[in-house]
Chain A
Amino acid sequence: MSGNLKTTLKVYRGAEGEEPHYDQFDVPHEEGASVLDALVWVRENEDASLAFRYACVSANACKECMVLVDGKVNYACTARLSAGAVTVEPLANKTLIRDLVTDIVPPKERLGSAEEN
């Protein structure tokens, strides 16, 4: 642990069709930590309702955790958390579901769409 270093995490909040806003969280900053670590910390310690998608945590195998980190497309689990301030937003080119979750499910993997076919 590198003492009391903090990162200010600015996170996009809101569901599709809602007026979005940003929440700020002061998260502990550990050397080498990922943006995903910070998001998980927020859910465990500050706000369990924050929505984001991920599965494999650090193997970078599932490829579910893509978001915008400071405006750039990146995997939350491989993007390093810099000290200072970091902004996390949902992918801009996908339909928003809520908070950082966008519609990345392939259409043929949706039960609803299959039913209509």
Chain B
Amino acid sequence: MMRVSTDVFVVGAGGAGMYAAISAARAGADVILSDKSLISRGGATIMAQMTVASAVGHEEPDHWTHHLADTIEAGHGLCNEELSAILCEESVDRILEMDEWKVGWARVDGRMTQVHAPGHGLKRCVYVDYLNTGPAVARALRGEVAQRDGIRRASGLAVLEIVVQDGEAIGAVAVDVESGETVLVEAGAVVLAAGGLTKLYKRNSASINMGGESYAMALRAGAELIDMEFVQFFPIGHLAPRMVGMDPIMWDPFRYKVGGKLLNGEFEEFIHNYGATDGGTYTARRDLASYAIYKEVEEGRGSPHGGVWLSFEHIAEDVMKEKFGPMIKRLAKNGIDLQKQAVEVSPIAHYHMGGIRVNTEMETRVPGLFAAGEAVGGANGATRLSGNAIPEAFVFGERAGKFGAAYAKNRKRVSIDDQTASSVLSEPKAQLKKGAEPDGSATALMAELQELMWDKVGLFRTSEKLEQALERIREMQNDDLRNITIPDDEPFNQALLDWYELRAGLLCAESVTLAAINRKESRGAHQREDITDASPDLEINQTVELDGSDIITGWAEVPRISFALEEKQAAEI
């Protein structure tokens, strides 16, 4: 067993975790930055290819209050406006700071290029060419992290449990993935920045490390979650043919820049049957496009893999080449010629609006436990504007690091006893059913959970499907999870990690499903086929907490602020 001690322990090294580490170190704290995968590589940040929203006013005059108004409107009444305001205001500082750190935002004549993305009132979104935003962000932050003496990096450190004593977070139990050694981390403050949960859906844009462990660790530590029913689905995720080296959400700019046609399995346009006009341009709203695709598939008019066709065959070759030169080459490598064939697309789970409930200092209700990034719930309400997630990771990461460092400074570190560590590590064995020979696999069960969430807790929900899902999820928790074989003491024991991931995933799945059952309306990303209207009484947040092993849900007033729209200004260069 290895024992380490630090002021601030950061769990997860994506955009949020790396920013938290930098800002904690800047505040004079010493930091351990961990990731179960490799620093900067394991999660969503490095996969993001598109845009980052920020009212920097380079392309046209803007002010963060306008960004805030757009964010609140997209949130369908549920944004924690205090958090949204922080996100929009501080996004400007963070984007400029990232610029100093040489992220390489696309520029023309010294001004950052900003594009219009759906839901924004003007051209607000910066990016790095070509479709390179995430890798560039990951590289810049990785470089900054490496330069700071106060940060110890721990790639391959999987965090299993936050340790709480007398109501305060005092550290964590983790395992060194390669050696299998247990690592006890004693910390003045812990920042949970381990990302979202979209992996829990069969069709997703996620990495393998996005199974909701942030949320489960927070719940088990005594923190609350909020808005768990709001999972964002992206309407035209790539489905087939199998394609490699491309972001599954890549078709969006293709479709709206040149106008791709959506066709059902019978090669007929269908969007107009659902009340939208699509006429060769990308004007159908995202939720409507998702609904139309879902319905075509449900009614047996889907494409062979269960989606619909997206076709650019009607667009002239030179237009495609001009707009997407390098991408056309990458597609050719995949054997795809858009001039000659359509591709199959389908809605996919893409982002989680819900998450850990925090105050404006990013602190949970457990003293010493902070959260940042997609792990945090509330800032985006019932749906997120495109381009708001990367700034959320930066802004909340920076704050969690800073306030975590301040908290740690005034606090004595507490030592964690060996007993705590061994009880966490022996959990998969302790939970085994007595008398029976275990023969299950967490890996196979995760695949089943993904199917279940997709079929029953996905885009369009009904009370019947949700109840069926809940029943199976609880059975998996009480039975299947207790019937899993895990090899002992192996280096890189993936099967062991999968057990903890499955346990976390089931807790998240239960939270999402219960919250979806309780929200008897359709709002934003939570759409119920059996109750299609929004209810004015439900303009209210839903909370989730753990009591023993039972999930308790409740309701909370939406935090609101009053603000005036300030005059838009162009940045001086």
Contacts and interface: CB of A to CB of B under 8 A. Distances in A.
Contacts, number: 139
Nearest to B145: A109
Contacts of B247: 59, 61
B477 to A, nearest CB: 19
Interface of A: 15-16, 30-34, 37, 43-45, 48-51, 53-64, 77-78, 80, 97-99, 101, 103-106, 108-112, 114-115
A105 B178 contact: yes
Interface string B237-266: 000011111111000000000000000000
A60 B250 CA distance: 13
A47 B21 CA distance: 37
Interface stretch (B34-42, B68-76, B81-89, B388-396): B34-42
Given A49-B493, A97-B491, A110-B154, 7 more contacts: A15-B490, A32-B243, A49-B490, A56-B47, A64-B38, A109-B155, A111-B152
13 contacts: A15-B490, A31-B242, A32-B241, A32-B243, A32-B334, A43-B443, A48-B498, A49-B493, A61-B134, A62-B38, A64-B41, A111-B2, A111-B4
Contact of B242 (A30, A60, A61, A110): A30
Contact of A59 (B157, B248, B498): B248
B32 A58 contact: no
Interface of B: 2, 4, 32, 34, 37-39, 41-43, 46-47, 49, 134-135, 146, 152-157, 176, 178, 183, 206-209, 241-248, 334-335, 441-444, 447, 487, 490-495, 498
A111 B38 CA distance: 12
Contact of A37 (B4, B242, B334): B242
B36 to A, nearest CB: 9
Contact of B492 (A30, A43, A77, A99): A99
B153 A43 contact: no
A15 B153 CA distance: 25
Contacts of A104: 38
Given A62-B37, A98-B491, A106-B155, A56 B46 contact: yes
Contact of B38 (A50, A109, A114): A109
Contacts of A50: 494
Given A48-B441, A105-B155, A78 B41 contact: no
Contacts of B39: 109
A103 B493 CA distance: 14
Contacts of B498: 48
A25 B425 CA distance: 31
Contacts of B146: 108
Contacts of A54: 208
Contacts of B38: 55, 62, 64, 104-105, 109
Contacts of B4: 111, 115
A108 B244 contact: no
A105 B209 contact: no
A60 B155 contact: no
B243 to A, nearest CB: 7
Nearest to B43: A55
Please indicate which of the listed interface residues A50, A51, A55, A101 has the most CB atoms of chain B within 10 Å of its own CB. Answer: A55
Nearest to B37: A55
Nearest to B240: A32
A88 to B, nearest CB: 15
Nearest to A41: B447
B494 A51 contact: yes
Contacts of A63: 41
A34 B244 CA distance: 8
B245 A55 contact: no
Nearest to A35: B244
Contacts of A78: 244-245
Contacts of B208: 54-55, 57
A49 to B, nearest CB: 5
Given A55-B208, A57-B208, A97-B178, A31 B241 contact: yes
A106 B135 CA distance: 18
Nearest to A52: B494
A50 B491 CA distance: 11
